[in-house]
Structure 1
Amino acid sequence: MAGKHVILVAEDDVDTATMLEELLTLEGYEVELTATARGALDALAERHFQAVLLDLTMPGMTTDRFVAELAGLGARSPLLIFSARLPHEIQSMAERLNAAALIPKPVDIDALLSALSRVVLAAPGEGG
């Protein structure tokens, strides 16, 4: 489908990633999954996504290094950060990355879909 919104889900927990992939696919999104920090960085360096659901704590590198490398990419895909950490613990990282939303884990499906819809609808169109 030419107009399908592509979402990157960067999550190392297999059950959470699978649940998100199934949910977002049912909602009409195309989903690309990655389970490592390097995989997320590589995917963001290669292409633009309408939104990125991003767990900041993933295998492969420290959170601080991941945030620094992500900020260095200058990636323009809107970030929705979801984390089991308390919001005040990741607030400065979210601000540094200009995140569109902070979504606590366990994920509230309605809050996630609402934030995602808001971000996708606000994103500039890709031709058409």
Structure 2
Amino acid sequence: MIRSAIRGLALLASAGALLVLTGCASVQGPTLPVSELESFIPVPSHARLMNDVKVRWEVRENVAEVCGRAAKISAAQAWMTPPLACAMWNVASKECVIITGKKVSHVELGHELRHCFEGNFHR
């Protein structure tokens, strides 16, 4: 019972942190939120942040540190709810860098790639 209460609080904290973070970070937990597995309707191409994007994928040991800095979150918040991955995009140069750890899921990578085209879609 205590474990489920703690897990519930952790999920609530993760959801709250996700709203606070910029669109380039996912929140870590035992598993990704179920909502990440749901289908979505892509933004029409004329309304996207970018269409023709050069994407680079970096696999890093220090994902929480790099993505936390990019999201401008405190070191304490990055430690409590460490980002699994992030995408940093530059509209002027039409470039996007996806940063993940050595272990990454298709869902996490796809989530970050969506940021490359749609920017901060968490709003």
**Which structure has the larger Rg over C-alpha atoms?**
2
Q: TM-score normalised by the shorter chain: which range applies?
A: under 0.3
User: Structure 2 length as normaliser, TM-score?
Assistant: 0.26
